[in-house]
Amino acid sequence: MSRYTAITPADLDAMLAVIGVGSVQEIFDRQIPQAVRLGRELDLPHGLGEQDVYEHLRALAERNTSTEDELSFLGAGMYDHYVPALIDMLTERSEFLTPYTPYQPEISQGGLQVMFEYQTAISELTGLPVSNASAYEGPSALAAAGYLAKLHNGGGRFVASAGLHPHALQTLRTNAHGYGMDVVEVGLTGGITDPEEWAAAIDGDTSAAFFAQPNFYGAVEDAAALSAAAKGAAGDGAKPPVVVAQVDPISLGVLRSPGECGVDVAVGEGQPLGNRLDFGGPSFGLFAAREEYLRRMPGRIAGETVDVDGRRGFVLTLQTREQHIRREKATSNICTAQALNALAGVVYLAWLGRRGFVELGELLLARTHYARETLALLTGVEPLHDRPVIREFAVRLDVDVAAVKRRCASEGVNPGVDLHALSGREADRGGLLVAITERRTRADIDRLAAVLALAMAAERDSAATEAVTV
């Protein structure tokens, strides 16, 4: 028997005999043209035994640094929130952990109800009447909203605020290129989307207008004004653009909902809701919309019904993936719904409750304000903007950010995200994005300030010494 599969040589011979070939190689020979073959063995080492594989993977894992190993203020879309033991207990139950897609409702009521309850929670958070049963992750959800708008409006342009997360903006550009559409980027003024440039960029050929709330730099945007301006800028006789907001779900405990602000589609990264960082994933994407866009939404939607005996039940109501319908009619070709991660999200929201969710947002407001005020007192630190913030804020350092981060890391502190390294924008050079969660106490913030001050002073001294030496 193979070390990794259950197929024995006898099994293989039997299968080959049934299809009428003498070897697996013969199958490849019949199907793959010579012109596209590599023509040599792959340059791979020999396989290892299970114990050796374990030791190798353990050694690789030890090279990582987790938020349990350092005091981390990283954010930019992924956040170190506390995840209660309740979530692990429920998501590790076999009926949630191992089942396949719930095609058969008669044996999938638990999974379908989870999807339904998740959709209900997201609709309540966003103030929008319909939600799908999750998307792959945040950036792909934003791009899917673009495709929805293209199908709805048929315009040839997207207008996007520079305050979107750079990864989401890049994903939108990649997908728009495939649609044959242009993406017009609107700059920021004072940390928020420039309202005049925003209105001027939108015309009758604009399928969708995208902004983030709060934006990538932590600033709270005037969502209602942006939505109204977008819908009023299309011109007489033209379909107004679909207004898409990229939202941080945690912020919705203290901000007006996207639906209240006139947003048509709300998307976002669901990781902050009960999902750990886990070295980058997996996570899940939020996607909620007004009812008029229901049949153009990607993914799956679970619905509530009654059976022939009048008992409450759940079914898959809409499935818009190419896996289920004609490819040209599909609104998504991503077949991963991330239902297990979405389960963690709805358990987390239920665990917090309505009041607890608001209290979490208020706690983040207070600690983020304290952190920004504390860091702003340091020599060489200047806030990037003075807009209201909720859980994240940007500052500019007068020394090299990457060098300062290395010095802080040696003291067990990760001060935040190097804005220029993540976005690639020259305007972001010197920028540091600092994120606060409920796991970062006032004492932790004070330690960040102390370590950051020493690291910046040491970097200035080093730069001065190098200048004298040269």
In a domain, 358, yes or no: yes
Please list, in sequence order, all residues whose beta carbon lies within 8 angstroms of the beta carbon of residue 73, skipping any fewer than 6 positions away. Answer: 413, 414, 415, 416, 434, 435, 436, 440, 448
190 part of a folded domain: yes
HSE at residue 11, side-chain half, CA atoms within 13 A, is: 6
Residue 324 CB neighbour total at 10 angstroms: 15
In this prediction, residue 1 carries a pLDDT of 45
18 and 102 in a single domain? The answer is no
Could you tell me if 19 and 111 lie in one domain? no
- pLDDT 10s digits, 130-165: 999 999 999 999 999 999 999 999 899 999 999 999
Beta bridge partners, 193, equal 188
pLDDT at 325 (0 to 100): 62
Task: Give the global pTM.
Answer: 0.88
pLDDT of residue 337: 67
Q: Is residue 110 part of a domain?
A: yes
Q: Are residues 306 and 232 in the same domain?
A: yes
Residue 293 lies in domain: 85-348
DSSP classification of residue 74:
-
Low-confidence stretches of the chain (pLDDT < 70) are 1-4, 320-327, 333, 335-337, 469-470
- Please tell me whether residues 105 and 194 are part of one structural domain: yes
Q: Beta-carbon neighbour count of residue 13 at 10 Å? A: 12
Residues 357 and 340 grouped into a single domain: no
Q: Are residues 230 and 283 in the same domain?
A: yes
Boundary-marking domain end, from 348, 377, 405: 348
Q: Are residues 36 and 173 in the same domain?
A: no
CA dist., res. 440 & res. 447, Å (int): 10
Please, what is the end-to-end C-alpha distance for the chain in angstroms? 67
Q: Are residues 33 and 178 in the same domain?
A: no
| 157 and 281 together in one domain | yes
pLDDT value, residue 19 = 93
Count how many domains the chain has: 3
What one-character-per-residue DSSP string does 308-345 give? TTS-EEEEEEEE-BTTTS-GGG-SB------HHHHHHH
DSSP class per residue in 343-360: HHHHHHHHHHHHHHHHHH
Of how many residues is the chain composed? 470
Among 290, 319, 348, the domain boundary falls at 348
SS3 state at 130: strand
Domain membership of residue 203 (yes or no) is yes
CATH code for the domain in which residue 132 is found:
3.40.640.10
Phi, psi for 9 (deg, rounded to 5): -55, -35
Instruction: Please give the helix or strand (H or E) that residue 465 lies within, else none.
Output: helix 442-469
In a domain, residue 74? The reply is no
pLDDT digits (tens, 9 = 90+) for 323-361: 556 667 777 767 666 889 999 999 999 999 999 999 999
Exposure string for 90-110, b = 16+ CB within 10 A, e = fewer: bbeeeebeeeeebeebeebee
User: Within a domain: residue 14?
Assistant: yes
The answer to the question of residue 177 being in a domain is yes
Q: Round to whole Å and give the CA distance between 97 and 104.
A: 17
CATH no. for residue 461? 3.90.1150.10
Q: Tell which of 324, 348, 372 closes a domain.
A: 348
Whether residues 305 and 438 fall in one domain: no
**Domain shared by 344 and 411, yes or no:** no
* Residue 345 CB burial class (10 angstroms; 0-12, 13-18, ≥19): buried
242 falls within a domain: yes
Across the strands, what pairs with 158? 183, 208
Q: Does 163 lie in the same domain as 297?
A: yes
Q: Using CA atoms in the order 267, 273, 279, 281, what is the torsion angle rounded to 10 degrees? A: -50
Question: How many CB atoms sit inside 10 A of residue 335's CB?
Answer: 12
